[in-house]
């Protein structure tokens, strides 16, 4: 955790940066399952800035993850020629900053076999750990004690090769978390199952429980991108991207378990497009960052025009734990409105944090962005 500035300083620095796109206020024509913003508490954002852009062969920078370690912010992301490159050419880059304004030159992490992508970064007391899923292979792990010299990537969960089943893709890690003396991560496969793994060091992982098996609901399949967060009562909440067989969109599923996290209860979200989730707890507020689609089609967020052009957008929600409903809080700015989201998120205090995401055109250009967020 970083000792944060005062609330007044936060708002002076960030709240006015983006004007009218900073938040949703009051009721609007939202799809069922997306409530209007609660009047008592909003999530705002500001101090928005582009922190990385490149020129040359690889100009597509995407899929971020962020942490705070040794008085610096660390952001990892994928750099490649396009969203889906053939032949695959993704590589993992790392940048760091002390003040969120000046960023280091990118550090190239060790290359793996395949299309390096979807990197996730974890800070432990003595090292940084990065997970990379070079599709369609297993998640690989490398680590560093100084952030610059990295070990060779090795399989993070060799047992996953047996658990995934014949003829399916690799095991994918999604945003590991520390809680009560151990590290936890959701690991999904392409055979409709999500496992919860546990580790003492963030490097070697063991199976802990099955969070989701099968489609879990008649209208869904292929759970993936499962972000977890631990609540004030020690429960673990998981948000999963699911393929919706009826609407053709990716929608949210919510799973909840109490210690020892071996029995999970599932709730299906409403048919609103959902992907690339990140989730953190700020005091008693659960903030969810994800991809959504703006427009008047089924599964899209039909918002007033003053929230910008329709299209694919990165958005912020809060999660109402009583109703298991996402409450839309803010729509982040986008240059392209076509390919974006996949957040990193750092909680600094109960009322402030930092987010990273990418924004691109789906073909050959995408940049890394950052903003401060605050709970009002």
DSSP string, 186-240: EEE-SSSEEEEEEESSSSS-EEEEEEEES-SSTTEEEEEEEEEEE-TTS-EEEEE
Q: What is the pLDDT of residue 85?
A: 81
Taking the alpha carbons at both ends of the chain, their separation in whole angstroms is 20
Edge-to-edge strands, sheet with 220-230: 220-230, 236-244, 250-257, 265-268
Q: What is the pLDDT of residue 215?
A: 61
Reading the block at residue 76, the tokens are 């990892």
56 and 32 Cβ atoms separated by less than 8 Å: no
Cβ density class 7-22: b for 16+ within 10 Å, e for less? eeebbeebbebbeebb
How many C-beta neighbours within 10 Å does residue 320 have? 13
Residue 37 and residue 43: Cα distance in Å, rounded?
Answer: 9
The torsion region of residue 214 among left (phi > 0), alpha (psi -120 to 50) and beta comes to left
166 and 213 Cβ atoms separated by less than 8 Å: no
Q: What is the pLDDT of residue 203?
A: 96
| Residue-by-residue pLDDT tens, the chain, 376 positions | 444 444 444 434 443 333 323 343 333 333 333 434 444 458 999 999 999 999 888 999 999 999 999 999 999 999 999 888 888 899 999 999 999 999 999 999 998 877 898 999 999 999 999 999 887 668 999 999 999 999 999 999 987 766 655 444 578 999 999 999 999 999 998 767 899 999 999 999 999 999 988 666 677 778 889 999 999 999 999 999 988 777 667 889 999 999 999 999 999 887 788 999 999 999 999 999 999 888 777 778 877 655 556 678 899 999 999 999 999 999 998 888 888 999 999 999 999 999 999 998 877 899 999 999 999 8
Closest CA to 109 of 71, 73, 141, 67: 141
275 and 244 Cβ atoms separated by less than 8 Å: no
Residue 267 and residue 244: Cα distance in Å, rounded?
Answer: 14
Residue 299 and residue 293: Cα distance in Å, rounded?
Answer: 8
Reading the block at residue 250, the tokens are 């990716």
Helix (H, G, I), strand (E, B), or coil: what is residue 14?
helix
Domains of the chain: 7-352 (2.120.10.10)
Q: What is the pLDDT of residue 329?
A: 92
């Amino acid at each position: 955790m970083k000792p944060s500035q005062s609330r007044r300083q936060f708002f002076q620095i960030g709240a006015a940066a983006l004007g009218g796109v900073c938040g949703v206020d009051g009721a609007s024509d939202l799809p069922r399952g997306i409530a209007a913003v609660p009047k008592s508490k909003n999530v705002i954002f500001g101090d928005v800035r582009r922190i990385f852009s490149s020129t040359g062969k690889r100009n597509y920078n995407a899929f971020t993850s962020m942490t705070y370690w040794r008085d610096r912010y660390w952001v990892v992301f994928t750099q490649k020629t396009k969203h889906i490159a053939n032949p695959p050419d993704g590589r993992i880059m790392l940048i760091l900053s002390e003040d969120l304004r000046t960023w280091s030159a990118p550090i190239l992490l060790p290359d793996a076999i395949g299309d390096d992508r979807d990197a996730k970064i974890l800070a432990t007391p003595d090292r940084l750990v990065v997970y990379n899923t070079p599709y369609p292979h297993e998640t690989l792990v490398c680590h560093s004690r100084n952030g610059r010299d990295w070990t060779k990537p090795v399989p993070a969960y060799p047992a996953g090769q047996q658990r995934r089943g014949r003829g399916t893709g690799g095991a994918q890690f999604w945003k590991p978390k520390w809680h009560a003396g151990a590290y936890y991560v959701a690991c999904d496969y392409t055979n409709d199952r999500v496992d919860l793994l546990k580790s003492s060091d963030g490097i070697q992982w063991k199976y802990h429980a099955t969070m989701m098996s099968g489609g879990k609901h008649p209208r869904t399949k292929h759970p993936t991108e499962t972000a977890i967060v631990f609540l004030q009562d020690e429960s673990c909440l998981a948000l999963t991207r699911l393929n919706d067989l009826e609407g053709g969109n990716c929608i949210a599923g919510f799973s909840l378990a109490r210690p020892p996290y071996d029995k999970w209860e599932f709730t299906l979200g409403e048919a609103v497009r959902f992907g690339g989730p990140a989730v953190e707890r700020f005091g008693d507020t659960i903030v969810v960052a994800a991809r959504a689609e703006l427009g008047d089609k089924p599964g899209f967020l039909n918002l007033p025009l003053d929230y910008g052009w329709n299209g694919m957008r990165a958005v912020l929600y809060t999660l109402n734990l009583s109703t298991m409903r996402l409450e839309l809080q803010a729509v982040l700015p986008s240059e392209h409105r076509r390919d974006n989201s996949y957040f990193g998120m750092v909680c600094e205090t109960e009322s402030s944090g930092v987010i990273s995401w990418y924004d691109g055109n789906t073909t050959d250009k995408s940049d890394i962005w950052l903003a401060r967020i605050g709970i009002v």
